[in-house]
């Protein structure tokens, strides 16, 4: 597992066009949440007790419009962003999403546009999204065992629908396809091997995510975290693995290939092996608030500025200022922050995964 010291980003003048934060991290990725609603109620993200029928989600006028998202995305790209990821909530619940994808992929300087989805609506939209210019897709699938799946999704959707979505995405040419599985001890850890087996020998890359303390409503309990090194050992004992070098600086997943050439898997270990030092991600909520950490407690409200008529230069300087002042490294400080009582963190369905 990851043991090397991460190579620091080369030093840069903070007054440069592309800002570096207080820890010398550039801004390279922007995750855009286009929808706070979801058609699942995964207990680790949107537990049903809280997100019930009477819960007040954003009204559509409160969400950024596609024009507003594109306008802001252009500014982020001018400040160094190269990759865009569309997420939520469930992004495929947003009507006409392909139109937004088409606009984002045509922004000069954007090298990669990806989507994270629970996959239930992917069969319906995969070819339209590909035609609009989407490059690749990450599908969340916590288990291929139907009962375990429904425990993890809060009783919504089904394995067959998600697998069908993945097949449509493959046929449409969205590649590479990654499957993300959050692992919770005593819930789906026993079905991890079956998930690997289902995709071994295919181009689909399964990545296991340590269950994280995002937000404050998922009743996170550290004893439910399965350290990636334990999962790695179990998979390696069945199908020997060898490490694969990171594809780029700041890649969050540790990659491994099956020694017998049957594909690749990955581990995202924010709890046991924090990777804050290489984090170059900014996040824009569906309500137009900029956050510089998945575990943030505060953000910068860009929508109000945008709707009050702020010009491009003003907005760009606001974003630049937020990035220059960034010092977040929540995962590295997790234990100390928990001990001292954590403030109310932003929920993941709202900020985007």
Ligand X SMILES: C[S@@+](CC[C@H](N)C(=O)[O-])C[C@H]1O[C@@H](n2cnc3c(N)ncnc32)[C@H](O)[C@@H]1O
Query: Which residue number, 142 or 189, has a Cβ lying nearer to ligand SF4?
Result: 142
Query: At its nearest, how many Å lie between ligand SF4 and the CB of residue 142?
Result: 9
Determine, following the binding rule CB under 6 A, whether residue 117 of this chain makes contact with ligand X.
Answer: yes
Query: At its nearest, how many Å lie between ligand SF4 and the CB of residue 157?
Result: 8
Secondary structure (3-state) at 75: helix
What lies within 8 Å, CB to CB, of 287 at 6+ separation is: 36, 58, 62, 63, 64, 303, 350
**What are the structure tokens assigned to 113, written together?**
């546009």
Q: Which does 209 bind (CB under 5 to 8 A by kind): ligand SF4, ligand X, none?
A: ligand X
Query: At its nearest, how many Å lie between ligand X and the CB of residue 44?
Result: 4
Determine, following the binding rule CB under 6 A, whether residue 214 of this chain makes contact with ligand X.
Answer: yes
Q: Which does 148 bind (CB under 5 to 8 A by kind): ligand X, ligand SF4, none?
A: none
Query: Which residue number, 103 or 347, has a Cβ lying nearer to ligand SF4?
Result: 347
Separation of alpha carbons 227 and 301, rounded Å: 35
Determine, following the binding rule CB under 6 A, whether residue 349 of this chain makes contact with ligand SF4.
Answer: yes
Beta bridge partners of 258: 241
Binders in 44-63 for ligand SF4, by CB under 6 A = 45-46
Provide the mask over 11-50, with x wherever binding to ligand SF4 is found by CB under 6 A and - wherever it is not.
Answer: ---------------------------x-xxx--xx----
Query: At its nearest, how many Å lie between ligand X and the CB of residue 88?
Result: 5
One DSSP character per residue, 232-298 reads HHHHHHHS-EEEE--SSTT--SEEEEETTSS-EEEEE-TTTS--GGG--EEEE-TTSEEESSTT-S-
Determine, following the binding rule CB under 6 A, whether residue 183 of this chain makes contact with ligand X.
Answer: no
Considering only 27, 30, 32, 38, the residue that binds ligand X (CB under 6 A) is: 38
One DSSP character per residue, 295-329 reads T-S--EEHHHHHHTT--HHHHHHHHHHHHHT----
Determine, following the binding rule CB under 6 A, whether residue 87 of this chain makes contact with ligand X.
Answer: yes
Q: Which does 87 bind (CB under 5 to 8 A by kind): ligand SF4, ligand X, none?
A: ligand X
Smallest CA-to-CA distance from 85 within 302, 294, 318, 315 is with: 294
Secondary structure (3-state) at 100: helix
Separation of alpha carbons 254 and 93, rounded Å: 31
Determine, following the binding rule CB under 6 A, whether residue 118 of this chain makes contact with ligand X.
Answer: yes
Query: At its nearest, how many Å lie between ligand SF4 and the CB of residue 302?
Result: 22
# residues contacting ligand SF4 (CB under 6 A): 12
Query: At its nearest, how many Å lie between ligand X and the CB of residue 207?
Result: 9
Query: At its nearest, how many Å lie between ligand X and the CB of residue 175?
Result: 18
What lies within 8 Å, CB to CB, of 215 at 6+ separation is: 45, 345, 346, 347, 348
Q: Which does 204 bind (CB under 5 to 8 A by kind): ligand X, ligand SF4, none?
A: none
Separation of alpha carbons 232 and 266, rounded Å: 9
**What are the structure tokens assigned to 68, written together?**
């507003």
Separation of alpha carbons 17 and 14, rounded Å: 8
Separation of alpha carbons 297 and 19, rounded Å: 22
Residue indicated by tokens 């959050």: 182
Query: Which residue number, 253 or 318, has a Cβ lying nearer to ligand X?
Result: 253
Q: Which does 46 bind (CB under 5 to 8 A by kind): ligand SF4, ligand X, none?
A: ligand SF4
Determine, following the binding rule CB under 6 A, whether residue 346 of this chain makes contact with ligand X.
Answer: no
Dihedral, 346, 347, 348, 352 alpha carbons, nearest 10: -60
Interface residues with ligand X (CB under 6 A)? 38, 44-45, 87-88, 90, 116-118, 140, 180, 182, 209, 211-212, 214, 218, 348-349, 353
Interface residues with ligand SF4 (CB under 6 A)? 38, 40-42, 45-46, 88-90, 118, 140, 349
């Amino acid at each position: 597992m990851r043991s090397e010291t991460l190579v620091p980003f080369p030093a840069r003048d903070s007054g440069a066009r592309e800002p570096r934060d207080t820890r010398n991290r550039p801004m390279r990725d922007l995750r855009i949440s286009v929808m706070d609603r979801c058609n699942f109620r995964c207990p680790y993200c949107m537990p049903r007790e809280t997100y019930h029928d009477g819960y007040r989600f954003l009204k559509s006028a409160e969400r950024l419009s596609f024009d507003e998202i594109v306008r802001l995305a252009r500014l982020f790209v001018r400040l160094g962003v190269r990759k865009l990821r569309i997420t939520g909530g469930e992004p495929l619940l947003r009507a006409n999403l392909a139109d937004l994808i088409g606009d984002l992929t045509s922004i000069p300087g954007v090298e990669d546009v990806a989507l994270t989805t629970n996959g239930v609506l992917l069969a319906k939209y995969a070819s339209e999204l590909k035609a609009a210019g989407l490059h690749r897709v990450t599908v969340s699938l916590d288990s291929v065992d139907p009962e375990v799946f429904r425990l993890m999704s809060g009783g919504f959707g089904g394995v067959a629908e998600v697998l069908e979505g993945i097949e449509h995405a493959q046929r449409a040419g969205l590649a590479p396809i990654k499957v993300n599985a959050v692992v919770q001890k005593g819930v789906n850890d026993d079905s991890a091997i079956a998930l690997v087996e289902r995709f071994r020998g295919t181009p689909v890359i399964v990545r296991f995510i340590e269950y994280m303390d995002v937000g404050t409503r998922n009743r996170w309990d550290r004893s439910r975290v399965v350290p990636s090194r334990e999962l790695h050992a179990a998979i390696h004992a069945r199908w020997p693995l060898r490490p694969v070098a990171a594809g780029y600086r700041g890649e969050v997943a540790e990659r491994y290939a099956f020694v017998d050439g049957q594909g690749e898997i990955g581990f995202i270990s924010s709890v046991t092996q924090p990777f804050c030092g290489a984090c170059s991600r900014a996040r824009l909520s569906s309500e137009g608030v900029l956050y510089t950490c998945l575990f943030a407690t505060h953000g910068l409200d860009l929508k109000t500025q945008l709707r009050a008529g702020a010009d491009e230069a003003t907005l760009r300087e606001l974003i630049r200022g937020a990035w220059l002042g960034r010092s977040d490294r929540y995962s590295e400080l997790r234990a100390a922050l928990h001990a001292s009582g954590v403030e109310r963190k932003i929920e993941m369905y709202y900020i985007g995964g």
